[in-house]
A and B are shown apart, each in its own frame.
Chain A
């Protein structure tokens, strides 16, 4: 027994080494790569895999990419026609096999111990252009995947150590940017070389069975962690939806719906309620859906464990074919990552956070949605050095992060699905690409309003520098869909605003000119050095009722230009420097929400709460049974968790302008308030003309029993 245990220490030593090797792979890739998406934004993936394609160790990059290389490896090993030899490396990018979209070029290579494959190394990065009808391989007009970037299901690029120059030439010939793609493919080779040489050293030292065992154990350990975490969370059904608008052809609204069901240590995510697939490039394939699940589950539930296949094993995906998130061949999927995958991830994270919020040991980290949209600004043409160029601006990552129950969201915090993303300096951009910034700054009043405020988004105004004109691709979702939803009555962050001023700049100086407000996807257009593109991204989701925000915090926000004086009054009910006026204004605003405060004693439960269902939702018991109540003790429901039945509702087609939240014609928002106090309990986004759903369904008795048991043992969920 002791001998096994000592072996386990050797496993832990090897685990640390494998993590270090994954980090070395990252450094090799970032050092050699020529893509700003890789070097600055960290839009890439490096990992080590079991022979069956299970990811065992992955870098801290885009969590959406966790399943991608594994699917590619399985595609290779499942086909007997694919001969795998020592020294081989394969390249591919097919979203109908494993990629999220064609820009995600992957390479994998087997690592042999003798005649056996002991592991695979995998690397993936977003390449700006892989061919297709439009620059950057994203075409709003595409109706089939054939019109988008080239698709490589699987090709052997390195054959027993020898680079197949003919194949490389063919791949580079398809791209508008062969230089940067070529450099990145070299970077992939360097990355896989690092992995192979380091793992081979490990095998030489510890032997293949021990190294294999250690890799397998990494996955088992994370699975154990994840199952323990799930057991510590309440059983029940949690629902969330997010939306995206415009499929490239028409400004149609698409819904991504998730029904999360957690029982014991098992998590099921059912997407059946989502919209059917689109005629345009916003779709994602089933591979993309798997990416959305890993990208959202890992940062939200696995924040303190090794990210790998094990953490995802307890998660089951339920989704029929033909949805916008399970589009079938040959649907176009070019912009899947920033459209359907991103939005699916938002919906999953929101549902997961509702589950965290129903657990006293995890509610402190429940939040709304971080940076719910990544807008696109691509530019192509001939640069100031006379070279063909193409850029994919990474600045739109700098949306706001969501607030937590005890702290505001981070300004320009960006997504949490990619822990290390960054944006380039303005100077570095202007030095090498033909851009000229009029500003890059934080945008006031973009953070989702709440007791804790969502983080502000950044915004930029750009024109061209050093060239007369270029082709711009401008597109986004989230101009009419507030993707960065709040939690517990907090508001979503502001929606994206895109404006374009023709003749609005002369020799780098802004001049007076009318600006056109763009819809979500104006698409491809010619831009000149007299035009200005002005874009503000989404702020992070707020937490709790804005009328509960500390007036001093609002005053500081005003001083730091995070909140305008008007918003302080209209949203937060704060009259700066006048506490009494603030109190009066807030009371009047709460009253206005519900018309009249209900004070009938029979509608209240005066017992101490014995559990919590979510932010501002208590569970309390008296002679009449178990109730869901507001903090004031007002009874919303008895014997079940469908608390909306007892709350006051107010539906809005378009929220007041101060919130900066614009709704698509097919979308509306419903705020739910405590009938006794006017406290805002939650804010739902739903299709116009439909009722908001009951988003938390669980057994109240079970919840109370669990929470009492958790109290008794301090709620530790680590075994």
Chain B
């Protein structure tokens, strides 16, 4: 049997998750290299060595290679993407800079947003001098108001040659309703500049609303040459070494796609890491029969949450990158600045923890790298949750005195607390902020958090999960087997999936049924979208009939926000419209409470979306594990800062299935510590997941 591999390239570490029938599941971590590729290859070599195979022999046995990377995201954030020009409609060249006025405040956290001095942190994706206006105009109904002036367009394109442009994004008004001008512009650019990467807005982001569409198309174009080169090189290196399967890239939407499909759409993979993490939880949830999962990840600077409802991740229509609205269908991963590195400070007599972070450098005071600000990690150390001599598996010694000093100085003294009380306060504030985000992801959307299983990922997740569970009224939480490499795990476990949308504006006054013409318009948009999905899945090698899901975006007339109402399979008819509206109404009431909906306002259908997927063979997940080793007792603060509790400390690389733990205890893994408060019970399942039940 071959190797199933998932890789995830993060800012600091490149994670590899590998599974094979006889060996079981292994995780490897290597430092991320500047060229990204090197870190991936290093990891693979490390794995080959661990399995006593040559690199070539190892590659030849790869059954599946899932890959996630933030390379595109970093390129955009650091302005290192390809030199890109934008062509747009005459009169609208400043669309990116005006940015609906949202660009200037994009990315400011809840503390920064009231400070106008901090606005405009990110420049527009493309500077004004590389944006060119084309004489043409199409109206909201798709009518050509001003025909494309080809001579003028050719003149502009000729000028691009000298400017050293590597990519061109074309975004004209209402191209999604009538793409004739964008298509002709592609031909004109192709004739004059055959080497240039071209993105058309109606293909990359087929949605009405020119700012997000232009941003998405510009980002896609800017990443095109870069991502194409990187993926081609990765695939080439592995194929030459003997790999016989394609590289499957993780997308923001949680499916994987081969490079042949993704090369033209690198923007679809911008946020592959967080999406892969949620897909990992989804896959593991499916194995152990959990269909409603809140998946949390606590790292150094941020707390990320995704929600899986009835076996499907909650999605969102757009994401914000480098100040720009990027409209790609994405798994909704919400995030706040709360993590191990979150800085605690007292201001006006109030204790605040985060969103500012000490990061990795200087990092928490206990890292001994000159950080003087107390952080959540310092608090955990003082509270006995972390072991100064066994942090990241003992690879880094922590300075508990430095942690005490920082907390004493900056928190305990100003508030008149003992150091222990102050540390307890820091944890309390941090945990309550995280619980607020979990509430936002559930209660605010009409869900009861008690219907969910809580998955604790990331370095600090398993040590804070007991508080989060209690805060939300949950009886239990799960530390997944791949908690520190959840994204890599997800990349190896996701199905092939492709999703697209088509605008089809239909305006229904109160209690008016759709006309035959309107039904026809929606049906055609659905067919068109399904055809694109089918073609791309075929290219991705999905042989059998793919699973198709269809949605309509519906809102009350005049609203800005819409809901996606699922559509039944089969022919689309007038009844389908009525069903979609009825479903919208039901979902709406669930979300905003009875009395909030107002059918008298009428409805609008904005667009349709079709998602298709093809199932992949799941990798083997069974694991062997080791017997945890008893490392004695340590005093740990749980609920009462005045009453430290003698707590059993266990150490393990990977606890064996069937292992049972009794709280209070702390299980120290190489990159995380799972905390079981007094009265809690823990059991390891067949896949290595630790299930913790809190005392009732």
Contact = CB atoms under 8 A, between A and B. Distances in A.
A179 to B, nearest CB: 5
Contact of B598 (A183, A224, A414, A509): A183
B417 A441 contact: no
Given A305-B348, A719-B348, 11 more contacts: A8-B349, A31-B559, A31-B561, A31-B591, A190-B595, A421-B101, A422-B100, A426-B95, A427-B209, A428-B209, A441-B92
Given A24-B440, A193-B593, A401-B116, A13 B561 contact: no
Interface in A581-613: none
Nearest to A556: B129
A410 B209 contact: no
B102 interface: yes
A510 to B, nearest CB: 10
A305 B348 CA distance: 9
Given A34-B557, A183-B558, A560 B127 contact: yes
Nearest to A158: B595
11 contacts: A40-B100, A163-B595, A179-B601, A182-B601, A411-B97, A413-B120, A422-B102, A439-B91, A442-B97, A465-B140, A560-B129
Nearest to A172: B600
A221 B350 contact: yes
A415 B439 CA distance: 32
B416 A179 contact: no
Q: Which of A32, A228, A304, A385 has the most CB of B within 10 A?
A: A32
Interface in A412-443: 412-414, 416, 419-428, 430-432, 436-442
Interface string B76-100: 0000000000000011111101111
Nearest to A188: B596
Q: Which of B139, B592, B641 has the most CB of A within 10 A?
A: B592
Contacts of B90: 439
A182 to B, nearest CB: 5
B91 A413 contact: no
B401 interface: no
A420 B98 contact: no
Contacts of B424: 9
Contact of A427 (B111, B174, B592, B641): B174
Interface of A: 1-2, 5-6, 8-13, 15-17, 19-20, 23-24, 27-28, 30-36, 39-40, 60, 163, 179-180, 182-183, 186-187, 189-190, 193-194, 217, 220-222, 224-225, 228, 298-299, 302-305, 307, 365, 370, 385, 387, 397-398, 401, 404, 410-414, 416, 419-428, 430-432, 436-442, 458, 461, 465-466, 507-509, 559-561, 718-719
A298 B119 contact: no
Nearest to A509: B146
Given A385-B507, A442-B94, A401 B119 contact: yes
Nearest to A300: B116
Q: Please provide the 3 A-B residue pairs with the shortest distance between their CB atoms, ordered closest to farther.
A: A439-B91, A39-B560, A34-B558
Interface string B49-85: 0000000000000000000000000000000000000
B597 interface: yes
Q: Which of B104, B116, B120 has the most CB of A within 10 A?
A: B116
Contacts of A33: 559-560
Nearest to A218: B350
A442 B98 contact: yes
Contacts of B348: 221-222, 224-225, 228, 305, 718-719
Contacts of A719: 347-349
A508 B94 contact: no
Nearest to A180: B558
Contacts of A365: 117
A430 B139 contact: yes
B115 interface: yes
Nearest to A435: B140
A304 B595 CA distance: 38
B101 A440 contact: no
Contacts of B111: 304
Nearest to B146: A509
A17 B434 CA distance: 10
Contacts of B604: 432
B602 interface: yes
B352 A12 contact: yes
Contacts of B597: 186
A387 B602 CA distance: 11
Contacts of B596: 28, 32, 186-187, 189-190, 193
B563 to A, nearest CB: 9
B116 A370 contact: yes
B173 A179 contact: no
Contacts of A20: 436, 439-440
A441 B93 contact: yes
A9 B415 CA distance: 9
A140 B117 CA distance: 36
A2 B92 contact: no
Interface residues of B, number: 81
B208 A428 contact: yes
B117 A404 contact: yes
Given A32-B596, A427-B210, A39 B559 contact: yes
Interface string B100-124: 1110110000110111110110000
Contacts of B127: 560
B559 A221 contact: no
Q: Which of A15, A16, A180, A182 has the most CB of B within 10 A?
A: A16
A368 to B, nearest CB: 12
B421 interface: yes
A33 B137 CA distance: 32
Contact of B601 (A39, A180, A718): A180
B337 interface: no
A12 B436 CA distance: 13
Given A9-B428, A441-B93, A27 B98 contact: no
Nearest to A414: B101
B169 to A, nearest CB: 16
Contact of A419 (B93, B114, B120): B114
Contacts of A425: 100, 208-212
A14 B440 CA distance: 15
Contacts of A560: 127-129
Contacts of B415: 5, 8
Contacts of A465: 139-140
B351 interface: yes
A532 B331 CA distance: 43
B104 A34 contact: no
Q: Which of A5, A180, A222 has the most CB of B within 10 A?
A: A5
B417 A5 contact: yes
Given A427-B140, A441-B91, A34 B117 contact: no
Contact of B119 (A183, A413, A466): A413
A696 B6 CA distance: 66
B439 A179 contact: no
Interface string B437-463: 001100010000000000000000000
A176 B413 CA distance: 61
A28 B597 CA distance: 12
B587 to A, nearest CB: 12
A398 B146 contact: no
Interface string B160-182: 00000000000001100000000
B509 interface: yes
Contacts of A6: 417, 421, 425, 641
Contacts of B146: 508-509
Nearest to B111: A304
Contact of A561 (B104, B128, B561): B128
B418 interface: yes
A412 B421 contact: no
B556 interface: yes
Contacts of B440: 20, 23-24
A240 to B, nearest CB: 18
B437 to A, nearest CB: 8
A303 B97 contact: no
Contacts of A10: 428
